[in-house]
Amino acid sequence: MRLGIVKFSIESKKSVKGLLNARMAPNNRVNFHTINEMARLTANTVANMDERKNKNIEE
């Protein structure tokens, strides 16, 4: 996260599969029917880590 890169281990196949299965709708928005729980959890974790990193930089 320090370089803005997220790395996945070989054990996180479900997270990667969930992210790869996400699709866009014809109106260029995310099709939420294609987002599974693992993709949501991964996105929320990365966003939370990014917020914490930015908060630590400000302090």
Q: Where are the domains of the chain?
A: 13-58
Query: Is pLDDT above 60 for 15?
Result: yes
Mean of all residue pLDDT scores within the chain = 83
Q: What confidence tier does 2 reach under pLDDT thresholds 50, 70, 90? A: low
Query: Is pLDDT above 80 for 34?
Result: yes
Cβ-based neighbour number of residue 28 at 10 Å: 6
CA distance 39 to 32: 11
Query: Can you give the pLDDT at residue 29?
Result: 93
Higher pLDDT, residue 1 or 25: 25
